[in-house]
Structures are given as structure tokens and as C-alpha cells.
Structure 1
């Protein structure tokens, strides 16, 4: 009976993770497809993110929504700032470099999270993490060195900045694990609006572009983020991270199907190294967790 319950919980967590990731993947295609300047992209995304996250906070907390926002406090505001900077780097990366390149570099966020945890929180870097970091940096160096297929050094650096800000936010959320700071993402939307507003000279988005950005930033991505936040209640964070790696594979496929953009052989080589490193790390961590669980049950 207990085994069936555990299996049901695991299936639920895997389903949430899979749906969450699938909802995030079309965004890369939309960012590569729109023809408006970057500042206007930020403006629309900020507006739609604010609407989407506000709706989620209202659904979760109902009459206590304002109180939840206040309770998030300064940690919530700061996590909103990190989210805004992550969004800025993400949108720049997707507009300035190849989709496969950008998504693979961004997928290294867990590696940067481990480095930041070591520097900031004093957490020891284990041998598997150290080897993963080394392999990942090697793969990233190969990807960044590739100047073919529309890749640019600036775009690659923005993708790395996105991974770093995601990693900072992971550690920030971990530091305030006892506090629900997710309502602070509303402030993130407001920060993004400000970044776009002060740099947008004219609104030039077509109705179909606005509609696509609305579906992604106001509906799909907020729901996807919430599902991925719920998933660790049923499966380990490592298993959720494993599903997140699917985004770095599926998102470029959407771009390839929609726009015909294919990565170069050099980018593919670096991507394979990064992906193998991250998959091996997830496997080692999961194996270690299963060993600990088996020992406790014995």
C-alpha cells in the first residue's frame, strides 16, 4: 500500500515537472520570432508577468493576497529584482544569439548555484559537483567560442548572466526558505516594466506579437513556474532539475520547426558535453539520495 502511494506521489511530481517545462519551452520561439526592439519586449513581458503573477497570488491567497505581498517584505522585493535581471539577460540572449546556444548556457544555472552556495553560504563542493563544474565550463567555452549561425559573444555573455542571476535567486530563496517570497515576483514584473518603459521610444508590436507574448508571459510561463515550484513536494529537487534540462533540448526544437534555425556542429559538441555533465550529476545525486533512504528504511 505504502509502495503504491509513493509511486503515485512520484508520478504526480513527474507530471507537474513535465507540464511545467513544456509550458516554458515555446517562449524561446516567440522571442526569436518577434521583430520589435528589446526594450519593447521587456515592456510587454513586464506588463504580462505582473498580471500573471498577480492572478496567481490572488488565487493562492484570495482575501489575504495583499498581506502575502507585505509578508514577502524586502526579501520578496530583492527576489523580484533578481528575476527582472534574469529576464533582461534572457531576452537579450534569445535575441542576440542562437536559441540552442542560449538555452544550453542557461541550463548551467545549477552549476553556478553550487559555486555561489560555496562562496556565499559556505557549502562544501563535493567531488561530483567539482567534476560537473569542470565539464560544464569546458562545454560552455566551446559554445561561446563558436561565432557561426548567428551566435555572438554579447548574446552568449547575456545567456551566462541569465544563468548566474537564476543561480543567485536559487540561493536567495534557499536562504529565506521559511518565508514565502514568491509574491515578490510581482515586483519583478514592475521592475521589468520600468526597464522597458524608459528605453522604449515607440510601441511597434503587431497585434499577433502582443497576443503571442500575452499567452507566454501572462499565462503559460507563470503556470509553468508554479507547477515547477509544487513538483518538489512529490519528487526530489534533483529530479525536477532533470526535467528542467528538457527545456534546453525542446526549446531549440520549437525554434528549428518554426524558424528553421539549426545549431552548428561546434555548438552541438559543446552542448553535448554540458548535457552529459548535468545528467551525470543528477544521476549521482539521485543515487546518493536513494542510498540514504534505503539505509534509513533498513
Structure 2
């Protein structure tokens, strides 16, 4: 397998692992502050551990890389990603937040063009359009079921959009700066966001029992492993490809919620999910049949 194929497979594995994340967040029953504190701190510690173990032999080189603009840009992206996603899920229905997050491949494709000179081809844009249409159908299906559209829902959607911007920058920066220790940057950013949340929401220290178990699974396993795979993938294939595949989480996530807490999706929601999965499946199949140079859009 070449780099592009490896990148697509890593992105697919990361996206699939990420799908139960929203269910576990909902099952924890935590508010935005407590959710951010625990998720970000736990994931940050795992990322820092991975980074330190992987890089301890390159101490001198790492000092220069840690002082770079790319490294600190990743730190800021991770602070934004961790913070906005936790508050978005706490404020608004999952589908609304995930619809806003679904803009990430468009943003990533534009950033990839302006910052890296990588022009997404027609196949990529067509798949992005189909995927976004499917996610839009899913949200319309939720609205038909009587989903509230109040100020908190709007605020949650804005948080989701901020997550999309953070993720797009994250993947593009990692692709542009292939030697930057992204594990350390993501870990530092997540830990900063989490510790700040513990300081601002002292009640987060009172989390116990099942809530702590649910949030620990997502913070110690799902988040760090999935984002490690997605970040690795962005060094092997374009940021637009990685972010588009990650959108599997936006349709499979609500299905996990359906299975876990019996929030039954509407037929339109299910049809939208089938459209997303089908479009991404066809895209991956077509990518496997194209010459490597053509697939890179060059």
C-alpha cells in the first residue's frame, strides 16, 4: 500500500473509533464544564505520554520544533477543539452540533489550497457535497421529530462550527509541518483546556460513579487513539480527505445514541446516514482504483 492508501485507512480507523464518543458523553450526564475538564485532561495526559515516549531520543531537535509557530498553532487548535465540542454537545442536540462540524472538509479543502497549494479534485468536492447533503437530511429529520430550535441550539451550532475550523487548521498544520511533534502539541492544548475547566468549574471534581467511567473511556481511549490515527493520516493524505472521512462520526454517532439511550431517528435521518456512508464508501473504493499521482490531485 502507498502513502495515500495508508492515510485513508488510518483516517477510516480513527473515524470509526470516534463514533461512540457522543453516546458516552451523553451517558455521562455531565455539563459542558465538567465534560471539558475530564475529557481534555485525560486525553491530554495520554497524548503527552505518547509524545514523550516517542520523542525522548530526539531531545535537541524537539526543542526547536516545540518553539516553532506550527507547534503553538496546534496547541491553540486543540484548546479550541476540546472546549467548543464539549460545550456544543452540552448545549444543543447532537445532530445540530455534528451538522456544523460537517463543514470541516470544505474548510480543510480551502485551507489546503491557500496554505499548501493542494487543489481538491472534482471527486472530492462531489463527495463532500453528497456527505453534507446526507448530514443535512439527518438534521431535518431530527427537526421533524420536534427538536428544539432555541438560543442554546444556535449557540451549540456555533460551537460546532468553531470545532470545524479548529479541526481543519489542525489537519492542515500537521500536513504542512511533518516534523512537528503533534502528540505533544495536542496533549499540551488539551491539558491546558482541561485544567482551565477544572479551575472555572470546581464542581467537576465531584464527578463519581458511572459518569466518571463513561467520561474516562472517552478521555483515555477513544479521543487520544482516534485523533492520533487521524493526525497520522493527515501526513499521508490531504486534510480534505481526512476531514471528509471523519464525517462518518456525524452519522454513526447518532446511531450509537439510538442504540444506547433509545433516541429513535426518523426515516429521513436514517436515509441521510445511508447517503453519507454510501458516498464515503464509493469515494474510498474509487480512490483505491486510481493511480497515486491522480489521487493526490496533481
TM-score range, shorter chain: 0.7 to 0.9
Retained in 1: the 8 A contact 2:112–2:172? yes
Return the offset for 1:292.
Answer: 4.9
Contact 2:46 2:224 in 1 (8 A): yes
Cα offset, 1:59, TM superposition:
2.3
- 1:245-284 aligned at under 5 Å gives the runs 245-284=247-286
CA distance in 2, matches of 1:23, 1:139: 21
d(CA) in 2 for partners of 1:100 and 1:66? 45
CA distance in 2, matches of 1:12, 1:58: 24
Structure 2: gaps (5+ residues): none
Find the aligned partners of 2:11 and 2:132 in 1 and give their Cα distance: 26
The TM-score normalised by the length of structure 2 is 0.75
| Alignment length (residue pairs) | 285
* Whole-angstrom CA distance in 2 between matches of 1:37 and 1:66: 42
Instruction: Name the Cα RMSD after superposition.
Output: 3.8
For the residues of structure 2 that align with 1:272 and 1:239, how far apart are their CA atoms?
19
Aligned to 1:296: none
2:87 alignment partner in structure 1: 92
Partner of 1:168: 169
249-258 vs 49-58, which deviates more?
249-258
**Within 5 A, what are the aligned runs for 1:52-201?**
52-62=46-56, 64=58, 68=62, 71-73=65-67, 74-103=69-98, 105-136=100-131, 138-139=133-134, 142=137, 147=143, 148=145, 150=147, 152-201=153-202
State which drifts further: 100-109 or 238-247: 238-247
Change (3 A) 1:274 1:227: closer
C-alpha contact 2:85 2:159 (8 A) present in aligned 1: yes
| Cα distance in 1, alignment partners of residues 293 and 72 from structure 2 | 39
How far off its partner does 1:52 sit?
Answer: 0.8
Structure number with larger C-alpha Rg: 1
Task: Name the SS of the counterpart of 1:202 in structure 2.
Answer: helix
**Unaligned residue ranges in structure 1 (runs of 5+):** 1-5, 294-298
